Structure 1
Amino acid sequence: MAKRPSALRFQPAGGARSSALPVGKKQRLSIERLAHDGRGIAHEGGRTWFVAGALAGETVEARVLATRSQVVEARTERVLLASEQRRTPACALAGLCGGCTLQHLPQAEQVTLKQRGLAEQLARAGVVPEIWAAPLSAAELGYRRRARLAVRWDARSQHLHIGFRAASSQAIVDLDSCPVLEQPLQALLAELPAVLRAFQRPRAIGHIELFHGNTRALLLRHTEPLSEADAARLREFCARLDVQLWWQGEDSPQADVPGQWLGYTLEPYGLHVAWQPGDFVQVNAAINTQMVAQALDWLAPRTDERVLDLFCGLGNFALPLAQRCAEVVGVEGVTAMVERAAANAAANGLENVQFVRADLAEPLGEAPWTRCGFSAVLLDPPREGAAAVLASLPALGAQRVLYVSCNPATLARDAAALVALGYRLERAGLLDMFPQTAHAEAMALFVRTAGA
């Protein structure tokens, strides 16, 4: 699930230790509005409070988690006056588990919050799109096709904790259900904890990952060899539920049965994308399908054009692009992903796409694949953004740049850089890839300004 901030005890900058509010102190607060991350904002005692689990207009009793200068991080303990927007979370562990932070807010309001945050980030960078596209959204529950479960053996209590990290803590919330997982993974999770807790050496388990594609898969990361009995127990469980089993020690993931693979289908294009645990794939299949369709629509590649796909991964965009244009070059930093992307192209009968490895944290330089130029470029970078490669795009001849972002802050930074290079932001829109969380993804189309 999403990463969670640890509950650090911050000290006031330049101040005395005694000025910090004690962790655990309770305070009655009136919530004024929501921050971009969905926490309520209040002002009390000369401090600004960020309160998890609170909504605008509410009066709550909050518990202090940490203080930093005049900023207090807190968590809602009781709602004294509720907002009309507040709803009962779908999960009984909401507020305890750190995976979902917005289950108390209706999905339409979640989307509005993320849209506002995206717009404010761009505006602060001095960039405003000419057109705002409607947000892409889908089911608010049952959407995750992969999840990582934290595991820890407590020798004192002789208990194996299995679940997700707690909100604002490194503690593990034990669970055997999660309503944001796709239904096939929910069924797997319901039985898995009992199997693992029956291990002879449960301390050997590092973590567990669950996947759903063309079939279900389970990866067990182990920090020491498992006993033969424990390995056999897990094999029997996976065989009974028709689940692929993968192991990972110090090396990359290995299939228990050689030749196993996962995959997903991009239905509108008849394309099959093979992958394995450790590869990056979008967790929300429905949004991914919409996202690819919108990318093709906005970028509008012609049959005589060359298109460059940077941070291409397994070919999620490059493969459907290759059906629309003369040639596609996909560039990725991980050799194994490049190899699997090339295999995916071959398996789908696409001969006009090539995949190459390059460090995209560095400028593109003058690699052979850059010499013929490109009419259009698609960027799908990690959270750090694509700053290193942007300056190369005008020289490549790129008239259109489509940017798919998982971090509005770096999108805003890179958007300003593209505008300075002679591009205009024609349109932008939110991708609600992670309902029930404050995580926002976005798509933006930049078009070269005439004469630039």
Structure 2
Amino acid sequence: MPDTFITIKTLDMDARGVGHLVNEDGSQGKVIFVEGALPGERVSFLSFKKKKNWEAGRMTGMRGQASSMRVTPRCRHFDVCGGCSMQHLDPSAQVAMKQRVLEDNLAHIGKVRAENIMRPMYGPTWDYRYRARLSVRHVAKKETVLVGFHERASSFVADIVTCEILPDHVAAMLVPLRELIVMLSIYDQLPQIEVAIGEGLTVLAARIMAPLTAADAVLMRAFADRWNIQWWLQTKGPETAVPYYPIGPELYYTLPEFGIKMPFKPVDFTQVNHHINRVLVGKALRLLDVQPDDRVADLFCGLGNFTLPLATQAREVVGIEGSSALTSRALDNAKANGLSEKTSFQTRNLFEVTAGHLVALGRFDRMLIDPPRDGAVALAEALAALSTSHPDLMPKRIVYVSCSPSTLARDADILVHQAGYVLKKAGVVNMFPHTSHVESIAVFDLP
């Protein structure tokens, strides 16, 4: 049976080429999503998922000329590993695609359009990933252990020996890690390793399901000495992670523009791309345009990534987070940076916040929102209710940092059409090059 070829018209949010089959009468048939295909290319494909109105598949061949946006993937494992999905697309085209995704989501989900589209924020496109969760899998048939990311759309661990988005010194450890784990007594009870890189220190946090033996300890310590890393061990949830060897050095990253040193644990949420995080924090604060007499709220504050820089500019900053452990450590970070007099932290479930809660917090001149992928719909609805009940308490400017364009658009709909804000600016942040992940930032003003 001859291959079926389709013409790719566009890319979807996962960087898959989108085309259509042609029916026998010449009409447009079902939509096909093709991994590895780019707009303008005529490709054949192998389907791995079929539904009534669409199919998903992988490109198997091409007829005619390749897209001008196509580049040769740098990583030898690109076709198998799920760590990246866009290395075949020119980096500038990747960012343009993410900008289109953001604008389309704002228009179609939020029914809003930014008055100004900001230039994208760029950074290094290789060796940028300073945090990663590596899966570990013992493969009995091959009598080996695999360490890396999952295969594409699979629960299997990819058989990789290097990685182009991890810093070189971490990529160089992938094979030695496999060799180490094979020698451990718990080779089949170590499901993952968290990688966390700070200033001058790399930590590997091993999730272990059984205790180490004395022989295991000797091997682990020798590995740490050879590769200049620090081991942490995690026996259950993230709260059980503790330093193992060597004891002493502390993980931290810096925000030099603001003179901030931020300690963190390897299992904490921190941005994976330190360079872009510095750019993002600086940009967010410039957009927020904090004045010396302003009282500012930092919602979903985490360890204080935005809170502490804000405290160098504002009269008072209140950081709010859902975890008391995080707010306690954020306060410790504020004290360590000499900013505790201008900061305070509260523990509150921001997914259940109401207008009454905002009234109790008092008036904020400006607000920074940095939620997880679920977004901040309850907060947006609370601000909408506040605009009616206590309009004098509304912050005059909001900067919203988002890791999901769809939830940003949903919340923008509420902020603009119910709370009365104007979407002044929006733009993308290329926090995760070569992936389809879209980080973005938006500015909302009261008219």
TM-score (norm 1): 0.90
For 2:227, give the aligned amino acid.
Answer: L
Identity %: 39
SS class of match (2:191):
strand
In structure 1, the partner of 2:419 is 421
In the alignment, the residues of structure 2 paired with residue 421 and residue 412 of structure 1 have an alpha-carbon distance, to the nearest angstrom, of 14
In the alignment, the residues of structure 2 paired with residue 281 and residue 179 of structure 1 have an alpha-carbon distance, to the nearest angstrom, of 20
Task: Determine if the alignment matches structure 1 residue 227 to structure 2 residue 213.
Answer: yes
Please report how far the alpha carbon of residue 368 of structure 1 lies from its aligned counterpart in structure 2 after TM superposition. Answer: 9.4
In structure 2, relative to structure 1, the CA distance for the partners of 1:255 and 1:369 (3 Å cut) is farther
In the alignment, the residues of structure 2 paired with residue 78 and residue 197 of structure 1 have an alpha-carbon distance, to the nearest angstrom, of 39
- Of stretches 68-77 and 378-387 in structure 1, the one that deviates more from structure 2 is 68-77
Q: Note the 1:43-442 alignment, pairs <5 A.
A: 43-44=20-21, 45=23, 46-81=29-64, 82-124=66-108, 125-214=110-199, 215-251=201-237, 252=239, 253-257=241-245, 260-350=249-339, 351-364=341-354, 366=356, 370-393=360-383, 394=387, 395=390, 396-419=393-416, 420-442=418-440
Contact 2:147–2:177 (CA under 8 A) maintained in structure 1: no
In the alignment, the residues of structure 1 paired with residue 47 and residue 358 of structure 2 have an alpha-carbon distance, to the nearest angstrom, of 57
- Of stretches 26-35 and 242-251 in structure 1, the one that deviates more from structure 2 is 26-35
- Of stretches 39-48 and 189-198 in structure 1, the one that deviates more from structure 2 is 189-198
SS class of match (1:355):
strand
Please report how far the alpha carbon of residue 26 of structure 1 lies from its aligned counterpart in structure 2 after TM superposition. Answer: 6.3
TM-score (norm 2): 0.91
Contact 1:32–1:56 (CA under 8 A) maintained in structure 2: yes
In the alignment, the residues of structure 2 paired with residue 323 and residue 370 of structure 1 have an alpha-carbon distance, to the nearest angstrom, of 25
In structure 2, the partner of 1:8 is none
For 1:267, give the aligned amino acid.
Answer: P
Please report how far the alpha carbon of residue 369 of structure 1 lies from its aligned counterpart in structure 2 after TM superposition. Answer: 9.1
Write out per-residue CA displacement over residues 160-191 of structure 1, whole angstroms, 9 at most, x where no aligned residue.
12221111211211223111112332233353
Contact 1:222–1:247 (CA under 8 A) maintained in structure 2: yes
Write out per-residue CA displacement over residues 125-164 of structure 1, whole angstroms, 9 at most, x where no aligned residue.
2111111110001111111101111111123432212221
User: 2:13 is matched with which residue: 29, 36, 40?
Assistant: 36
In the alignment, the residues of structure 2 paired with residue 360 and residue 191 of structure 1 have an alpha-carbon distance, to the nearest angstrom, of 43
In structure 2, relative to structure 1, the CA distance for the partners of 1:31 and 1:236 (3 Å cut) is same
Contact 2:34–2:45 (CA under 8 A) maintained in structure 1: yes
Contact 1:204–1:226 (CA under 8 A) maintained in structure 2: no
In the alignment, the residues of structure 2 paired with residue 277 and residue 291 of structure 1 have an alpha-carbon distance, to the nearest angstrom, of 21
C-alpha RMSD of matched pairs (Å): 1.8
Please report how far the alpha carbon of residue 367 of structure 1 lies from its aligned counterpart in structure 2 after TM superposition. Answer: 5.2
In the alignment, the residues of structure 2 paired with residue 181 and residue 364 of structure 1 have an alpha-carbon distance, to the nearest angstrom, of 41
In structure 2, relative to structure 1, the CA distance for the partners of 1:40 and 1:165 (3 Å cut) is same
- Of stretches 323-332 and 251-260 in structure 1, the one that deviates more from structure 2 is 251-260
Contact 1:184–1:216 (CA under 8 A) maintained in structure 2: no
Contact 1:218–1:246 (CA under 8 A) maintained in structure 2: yes
Write out per-residue CA displacement over residues 77-115 of structure 1, whole angstroms, 9 at most, x where no aligned residue.
233432222111010111211111110010000011110
In the alignment, the residues of structure 1 paired with residue 325 and residue 173 of structure 2 have an alpha-carbon distance, to the nearest angstrom, of 28
In the alignment, the residues of structure 2 paired with residue 160 and residue 71 of structure 1 have an alpha-carbon distance, to the nearest angstrom, of 37
How many residue pairs match? The answer is 425
SS class of match (1:72):
strand
In structure 1, the partner of 2:26 is none
In the alignment, the residues of structure 1 paired with residue 13 and residue 358 of structure 2 have an alpha-carbon distance, to the nearest angstrom, of 43
Please report how far the alpha carbon of residue 68 of structure 1 lies from its aligned counterpart in structure 2 after TM superposition. Answer: 1.9
- Of stretches 62-71 and 390-399 in structure 1, the one that deviates more from structure 2 is 390-399
SS class of match (1:173):
coil
SS class of match (1:231):
helix
Contact 2:135–2:147 (CA under 8 A) maintained in structure 1: yes
Contact 1:332–1:356 (CA under 8 A) maintained in structure 2: yes
- Of stretches 315-324 and 246-255 in structure 1, the one that deviates more from structure 2 is 246-255
In the alignment, the residues of structure 1 paired with residue 193 and residue 370 of structure 2 have an alpha-carbon distance, to the nearest angstrom, of 27
- Of stretches 74-83 and 329-338 in structure 1, the one that deviates more from structure 2 is 74-83
Contact 1:247–1:254 (CA under 8 A) maintained in structure 2: yes
For 2:165, give the aligned amino acid.
Answer: V
In the alignment, the residues of structure 2 paired with residue 340 and residue 184 of structure 1 have an alpha-carbon distance, to the nearest angstrom, of 30
